[in-house]
Amino acid sequence: MIYETKEVTEDLLGGLKKNNYTRRIKSHFRAYGTGYGFLRFFMIEENSERIGMISEFNSTMMISTFEGKKVSKAVLKELAGVISLVMPMQIELEEEYGLKLAALVEDEYFADKRTEFAFVTKNELPDMDVNELPKLDDVYKILAQSFPSIRDSYQLWLTDTSHRVRRGLSQSFLLGDYTTATIQYIVDGVALVGHVATVPEERGKFHARRLLYWIGERLNKDGFEVRLFARPHRVSYYEEIGFREVGVDHVLERKSDE
């Protein structure tokens, strides 16, 4: 059985497996709680036993399971039915179930493989002039040139990012006025890097590479593990910076309506 719930607590979330999907769910809860319509939580049960949880935030669905629990074929089929009703733009879940679920919703979604990387520190923080508290409008000016979804939803991006920054769940960095990167969440000692961009006229000059290395060393020095996700063909690029591959998964993306 899958049902919406507002009975979400830190203790409950603490029972989920320690992975990116759980950290995403935690970041949603810590940022907004259960009182907003754009964020919903669902419980996954089988035979009156809690199996996992779902968060749906701004049309992105995160799915994670509790420690020691497995998702059966019957539950996957029910989950596919829920997805067909809700129709989120993107679904993220443990690799063990990604392709199995994709096969059940293949008319509406395709599975996109990605690689997870973790930064390996050399304990050598470069002397770089990085702005750790930039104005978000300055960050937006760069991101809008690389991410159409952000360019077309400025107010949504600004509201969510500033909200998370104020709660210590996110942080943006700015190198000059040309390259930026944002920590999408800081949860359970892990900082996830995302939204890395450089203005078109400065691309190819290794700015993003230098900034990512600096962020890895800077946050590692503060006691955080730094991770990011990228497409598999970027493995060598991130390894050269100082990241190592630690896993893969498949993100389900909704097919175009066209």
Asked whether residue 170 falls in the same domain as residue 71, the answer is no
Q: What is the pLDDT of residue 35?
A: 93
- Considering only 90-104, 141-155, 184-198, which range has the smallest mean pLDDT? 141-155
Q: Mind listing the pLDDT tens digit for each residue in 34-49?
A: 999 999 999 999 999 9
Contact 181, 215 (CB under 8 A): yes
Asked whether residue 52 falls in the same domain as residue 172, the answer is no
Asked whether residue 126 falls in the same domain as residue 103, the answer is no
Residue 122: pLDDT over 90: yes
User: In terms of residue numbers, what domain contains 203?
Assistant: 118-249
Confidence of residue 11 (pLDDT cuts 50, 70, 90): very high
Confidence of residue 234 (pLDDT cuts 50, 70, 90): confident
Confidence of residue 199 (pLDDT cuts 50, 70, 90): very high
Among the candidates 81, 107, 133, a domain finishes at: 107
DSSP per-residue letters across 68-121:
T----HHHHHHHHHHHHHH--SEEE--HHHHHHHHHHTTTTEEEEEEEEEEE--
Residue 169: pLDDT over 70: yes
